[in-house]
Amino acid sequence: MAKKFERYVKNLKNESVCESSSNAITVINEIFNPDETYIQDVEKKEVEKRLKEIKEILTNKEDIIETFREIFNHLYEIPKTFESYKTIIRCITLLNQTIENIIDMELMNKSLNSNVKEKLITSLTCLNTLANDIAYDRRISFIRYILNSSDKTKIIFSDISFTSGEINKHFKELALYFHPDKTGVYDAPISLRVEHKNLGEELFDQILKSKRRLLTDLKNVIHEEEAYEFWKIAIDYRNAAEEKWDKLKVLNQKEINGYTSEELRRFSITNGKLAFEKYREACKLADATDIKKQIKLRENMALCLHITGQSLDSQLYALSATRMLLLSCPMPTSQDYMEIKKLLDKVKDNKHTTSETSGNITLDLEKFGQRNSFYDKICYQHSINDDIEKIISELMLKPDHNFIRCKSSIFIESTLYYVIGIIAPIVPDIIEIWNAMTRNKLIEIINNALGAYVKGEYQKFINILSEEYKTDDSILRLKKPEDVVVPTNIIKICRDHYIRSDCIAYLLNSIGEVLVSQKIKINGKNTNDLKVFAKNIFHGVLNEDLVKDAEKLDDCIHDLRKKNISYFSRNFYYPLSWKIYDNLLIEDVYDARKMPFVSRLEEIRNIARINIVTLDMLTPDPKSIEQAIKIFNEIRKSINGNYQFVGTSKLRLEILRDFFWVIDGKEASEEMDEEFSEESTDSSSFENIDNTYFIYLNEQLKQTSSQSERINIYNNIATYFEHLAEKDCKVNRLNSLRNFNNAQNNYENAREIDPKNLFSALGYTKCLLKLSKYTQIIELNKASPFLTLSSEYWRYRSVAYCKQTNYDKAYECIIEALRLDPKNKLADKQISFLKKLRNENSSKHRINRYKKEKMYMKYEQDYFLNSRSNENPVYNILSIDGGGIRGILPALWLSEIEYRTRRPISHLFNMITGTSTGGIIAAGLSTPHREYPDFTPKFSASELLDNYQDKTKKLFTINIERKSKAKYTNEDRSNLFKEYFGQIKLSHALTELVIPAINEANSQSVYLFTRNDARNDELKNDTFVNTLMAATSIPTFSSPYEIKHKGLFSDGGMHINNPAMTSFNEAIRYKVASEKIFILSLGTGSYIPNPSNPVLYRDQLFWPSNQFNISYDENEIDRQMYAMLENKYQRWQVSFEEPIKLDALERIPYLVEIGHQYLEELYDSDENFINKLIEYFENRRNDCI
């Protein structure tokens, strides 16, 4: 082969030598296919030949020849890394440039004759061509080397840090060399020939895959690390709640010592949930074929859910991990076994972590070391699998015990029975008394048995249920060998004695779990017998009679709600001869306030379904898997109809899908997700309709005489106004209210024609809600009883009660809404919102959190100074309305901002403007600390919030002497300001400060107390005390305040209650570019019962309006600010149903609750304004570092 190739080279003619050289590499590789060493030898000979020719001409230029040799030495080696590949590109680029420069120089060299020049250029050109061909061959070899490698990612992304930044950076560099757009450039050092284009595209596809895989792996690692951190914190909080301080690993006892046990447990649950979410993300990203990884992640998720109190879901994940081990590991190790056993014990809340099976398996392992035969190994494998199946059989899911309660006994104390508050004399006969005694005995047995069950005393549980509740009758009869457990008999006994259906289902599920637990002994029954009994019992939970009973009970509750009967004040009893679902007890009514009885029952039925699947999956076969699919679909449909009351339905479905994947090895059907998909919101049919449509409708109204047509037209006009109102909701609130008022009037016109028109009635109700007329909504069903059949009306009613801070009534109404329509998505959101307000995030908890987490506030001088720099791209302004005691609203909202950002308000805003009570907050947030006056505030927002709750009485001290018309004295208010602000002056403020007041000596013009003016003019450098006394002297409430040499001043809210525009104008006066300005404007509540004349009721929120000339109102300012700044202006405001006056101290708790609600609404909104605001401040932080 070598001689054949040499003859081929010798036959090349001189005039085609360059072209022949360019084909040489191709001939070697594709025709002759010699080894790597030989091809390098041939290349070297050819290169040396050309170098010799060049050297003979370029005498005294050894350095150039050596440079060429060095370049070719790099080109000879086939690259195995991306760095060596780049070296080839750099070398060939350098060679091309060098040769090009030499040719240019020699063409200008007059000492060489033309023949010599031609020979030199030919040799250099041939050398260049040869180098390009060698380089191209090496590049193709590198591409093939990667594509043929078993570990492509390792080659492509070698020698980089395992961070997303480095991975993306390296990918961008790879793209410069291998992206098809780059390799397609003609005659470039990285270009590919047509015949190799497919190789380049294949390589780039592989680069993309490798990048994605690395980023996925990185996310997985990050998720696991973050999950583990959350998990450690969750454990620490739990140990702290149990006062096990010596077990803290991450947290510091001093920092959390002030929290109550309840708060510490809540923190533990929160971090446990976060850990679970991170582990779940890691599980999604993890390689599905890495079984050990998948098992470990499921174990971790099970433990996380367990610590959060989600016992059922925790057990499901534990079961999933166990089944995965059983199905995938033919020979589980002792360590595998012990870890699974430990996990199952934890999620089952078992106190004993060892069992007979674990002891036996340890002994078997010791013996196994001495066994060698194949038969012995098979026996051992079966032993392991049997033991794991025993563990699974113990893992029957159980509902929360607190979820269920059996009815209390009915006491026959007198002949008087309370029937919904009405005393009815009834004389019970002997039979009724006997039945009552029997029922009481039955309930006593059930409650005692369930008590033993909860304690894990399973044998005692069976024994108690075997006791007679009357002669020759018991719930369980298992004394004789031929006795069997018949679920229909148990159901009949309980129903005949008025036991509630959800309690019956809970009892059956408990019996089934105990029977399959292998922790009891029943004469004449083996394990398989008990397993059969258990499965029948679980099927008994699905008895349709129980569903019908629950539905009847829900209907009875609905009738009570519909009639607005107040039935929560006292216990009441019914005659025993009444039908079962007329026989309501007070506990039924209270339980109905939490969730419908059908939903309670369905939760237990789903647990029974899962337990049936678990028993079937102990010996998986096609039939049992088919049955499992059927049951999973039943669970999906059931959860979809009741998920609002269970709270973890989507998580439950995900776990079930995961469990099904483990069992069957297939992805769960997409059908499971369809019911939960968010409803797409259709674009409004009025989106492109203008005033012409409104004119058209009015013309139609004039022409028609048909009542049905008039109803439709009125409804269409109302809908048109609703659309306008929604469009104006943010940018022009007053106009929005006017349009809702117009819509309400048109709905009312339609209702006058047809009082039972549901569309008109619901539209009318919605408008009432938007206009803050909550009491009217609640009482609307009196005039329109048919509304009680509408889920949407009950939702509106729930919102109305919520706005009145009556959360119990609100929750009761939303339950009714969901009972009527389980798929009402807005009702679903409302119940989630109410759960937040009632449970984990109450206003009291929120305020306590502010107090306890002040220690984490960051006071950084560099951040503070940089935020004031002229180079800073943003200029933040905080504007706070006036409103007397209602200033507690912005104080609460600002406390939330400080809590979320961990920074004082004075560091976040360049200017703070406040009118009246807003001025007090502005001054408080800008007051410098005595020890660190340059950048640290004296007060936090939460401290000002405390003052509003505790010390506002000093602002309103009654003027007993009545020497003036003022209702309150100035003395106590002045003393309070002196106590807090002392001799602090405007020039000392940490931020630009703007506080308006009215100068009565100058035609009641607006006078601005500002830090800017105070620093430029000492005569304007007033104390905070004088400034606030002037700015809070409310007419009729207090006397005007006099500042020496300046005159009398009154509250600035008479002219500027919303100072947003004033602050904007001041910033412009300070030479701030308008495009840099961002304004957060905080209101103190509005009351606009008549949007057509909003100023008419202004005196009910502020002061007698007929005594003063009010130049403009807050809504007009909002409109102007939105027009100028658009998204750079945010307005936070709430609406009141009834006016809350400036000095209404008794309404402070209500104001706190309304402010708390508003924060939760901001968090729950689609735009999530708070998170966006926090993100905005976080981005600003990066600018200030």
Q: How is residue 1093 annotated by DSSP?
A: S
- Contact between residue 1081 and residue 1132 where contact means Cβ atoms under 8 Å apart: yes
Active site residue 916: yes
Q: How many helices (H) and strands (E) does the chain have?
A: 49, 12
Instruction: Give the closest residue to 785 by CA, choosing from 563, 517, 1063.
Output: 563
* CA terminus-to-terminus distance, the chain: 70
What does 697-745 look like in DSSP terms, one character per residue? HHHHHHH---HHHHHHHHHHHHHHHHHHHHHHTTT-HHHHHHHHHHHHH
Mutual angle of helices 458-465 and 501-516, in 10-degree steps:
130
What does 5-53 look like in DSSP terms, one character per residue? HHHHHHT--GGGHHHHHHHHHHHIIIII---HHHHHHHHHHHHHHHHHH
Residues making up the chain, counted from first to last: 1185
Q: How is residue 1085 annotated by DSSP?
A: -
* Host H or E run for residue 100: helix 82-107
What does 460-493 look like in DSSP terms, one character per residue? HHHHHHTSEEETTEES---SSTT----HHHHHHH
Which residues, 6+ apart, have CB-to-CB distance to 871 below 8 Å? Answer: none
- Contact between residue 1098 and residue 734 where contact means Cβ atoms under 8 Å apart: no
- Strands 1077-1082 vs 1129-1132: parallel, antiparallel or unpaired: parallel
Tokens of 621: 């076969």
Distance separating alpha carbons of residues 904 and 896, to the nearest angstrom: 11
Distance set, CA 395 to CA 343, 505, 639, 794, 977 (Å): 11, 18, 21, 40, 66
Quick one: CA dihedral 1159, 1164, 1166, 1167, positive or negative?
positive
Distance set, CA 109 to CA 62, 114, 123 (Å): 18, 10, 17
Distance separating alpha carbons of residues 986 and 1010, to the nearest angstrom: 7
Tokens of 524: 């004449």
Phi, psi of 1172 (to 5 degrees): -65, -40
Residue with tokens 């020939």: 193
The active-site residue, picked from 345, 387, 881, 1051, is 1051
> Hey, what amino acid is at 438?
T
Residue with tokens 């002037």: 1030
- Contact between residue 945 and residue 850 where contact means Cβ atoms under 8 Å apart: yes
Distance separating alpha carbons of residues 492 and 490, to the nearest angstrom: 5
Q: How far is CA 565 from the centre of its chain?
A: 39
- Contact between residue 1049 and residue 1034 where contact means Cβ atoms under 8 Å apart: no
- Contact between residue 925 and residue 894 where contact means Cβ atoms under 8 Å apart: yes
- Contact between residue 534 and residue 615 where contact means Cβ atoms under 8 Å apart: yes
Which residues, 6+ apart, have CB-to-CB distance to 787 below 8 Å? Answer: 758, 761, 762, 765, 780, 781, 793
Distance set, CA 576 to CA 399, 410, 734, 1075, 1147 (Å): 30, 9, 59, 76, 47
Distance separating alpha carbons of residues 77 and 40, to the nearest angstrom: 8
The active-site residue, picked from 311, 320, 916, 926, is 916
Catalytic residue numbers, as ranges: 916, 1051
